[in-house]
Amino acid sequence: MGYSGQTGPMPVLSCLPEDWWDPAWQAAQSPGVTVPERGVWTAPAAGIAEPGTPADESPPSWRRVAGTTFSLWTSRHLPRLRRSSRRLAAAIALGAGLVAVGVGTTGLTVSALSPAHAAPLPARPAPIPAPTEPAVPPASVATAQQAARPVSLSIPSIGVRTRLIHLGVNRDGTLQVPSSTAVAGWYTGSPRPGMVGSAIIAGHVDSRTGPGIFFWLRTLRPGDRIYVGRADGTMAVFTVTRISKFAKDHFPTAAVYGPVPDAELRVITCGGIFDRSLGRYLSNVVVFARLAG
């Protein structure tokens, strides 16, 4: 037997619960419409539309639909959005705090590793003219038994011109340094400049008051000239061959102070990182030069 009932789709049940209906609410929603007493509903006469049906009112506009939808969505999600906004604001504040702490720590680290006067750097001095005293011929070095003591130093490319004092050795075996940052010194335990061997000249890079005599020594380049004036009026002229930086804990003593077959010069100062806890630089800058020929 076949099913003899309705064959079309069943309507969707859209009625409200029976105990929800309220005549007062209905009157507020439909002003001017007589609200029937609660009882049995009687179908209207044919051809007469029921008040409140779609025949009596026009479809809502898209603005009204959009506004209603937005209001419903906001009432449902606004508490969650507020919580998310507070969390986002807290995260942004925390991130900003961490960035500020990181920047501050970096600044402290840099300031701890650099001397207070290192920023800003002083202007590089202008080159100065080379001395005009007669130079010692390289051929005379091999036969010279003694040379006059050095009294002055000039490095035109970095604007250095200074007198030379005498330096010895400290009690701990380290090389003495000049008591003033404005002059350089010749180590009396090394050959006199222009004689066979490695002549040693040392000076300060800077101090608490500003740059020292050898502040720009690290900027020399191979081929630059160094002039050492001597007490007899002669001049030993050296050509820079290389510039190196060595950690003080691994200083190559033999390469710097050791014997060489010709007349050479070593100009030494401090460099690298300044360790405030130790009160000194951690490296040395050494300029290697050979008697010009």
**Per residue in 229-282, pLDDT tens?**
999 999 999 999 999 999 999 999 999 999 999 999 999 999 999 998 888 899
Q: Is the dihedral of CA 2, 4, 8, 12 positive or negative?
A: negative
Q: Which of 217, 221, 210, 223 minimizes the C-alpha distance to 269?
A: 217
Helix (H) / strand (E) containing 161: strand 160-167
- 10 pLDDT above the threshold of 50: no
Residues 108 and 154 placed together within one structural domain of the fold: no
Residues 172 and 235 placed together within one structural domain of the fold: yes
Position 69 confidence tier, pLDDT thresholds 50, 70, 90: confident
**48 within some domain:** no
Q: What is the tally of helices (H) and strands (E) in the chain?
A: 3, 10
- 283 pLDDT above the threshold of 70: yes
Share above pLDDT 90 across residues of the chain, in percent, rounded to a whole number: 43
Alpha-helix residue ranges (DSSP H) falling in the chain = 23-29, 62-113, 253-257
Question: How far is 117 from 6, CA to CA, in rounded Å?
Answer: 99
**121 within some domain:** no
Residues 104 and 158 placed together within one structural domain of the fold: no
> How many domains is the chain built from?
2
Q: What pLDDT, on a 0 to 100 scale, did the predictor assign at position 111? A: 39
Dihedrals phi, psi of 19, to nearest 5 degrees: -80, 5
Question: How far is 175 from 201, CA to CA, in rounded Å?
Answer: 10
Residues 86 and 146 placed together within one structural domain of the fold: no
How does pLDDT run across 170-207, given as a tens digit for each residue?
A: 998 888 899 999 999 999 999 999 999 999 999 999 98
Residues 87 and 148 placed together within one structural domain of the fold: no
Q: What pLDDT, on a 0 to 100 scale, did the predictor assign at position 55? A: 47
CB 198 within 8 A of CB 265: yes
**85 within some domain:** yes
- 164 pLDDT above the threshold of 90: yes
Residues 218 and 279 placed together within one structural domain of the fold: yes
pTM listed for this prediction: 0.58
Select the highest-mean-pLDDT range: 107-111, 128-132, 152-156.
152-156
DSSP state of 223: T
Residues whose CB is less than 8 angstroms from the CB of residue 252 and which lie 6 or more positions away in sequence, other chains included: 246
Share above pLDDT 70 across residues of the chain, in percent, rounded to a whole number: 58
Q: What pLDDT, on a 0 to 100 scale, did the predictor assign at position 139? A: 47
Residues 83 and 191 placed together within one structural domain of the fold: no
Interval 68-90 mean pLDDT: 67
Q: Is the dihedral of CA 84, 90, 93, 94 positive or negative?
A: negative
Residues 169 and 273 placed together within one structural domain of the fold: yes
Q: What pLDDT, on a 0 to 100 scale, did the predictor assign at position 71? A: 73
**270 within some domain:** yes
**259 within some domain:** yes
**160 within some domain:** yes
Residues 104 and 246 placed together within one structural domain of the fold: no
DSSP state of 169: B
* CATH number of the structural domain spanning residue 265: 2.40.260.10
**211 within some domain:** yes
Structural domain range at position 71:
62-113
**247 within some domain:** yes
Q: What pLDDT, on a 0 to 100 scale, did the predictor assign at position 42? A: 47
DSSP states of 260-289 as a string? -SSEEEEEEEEEEEEETTTTEEEEEEEEEE
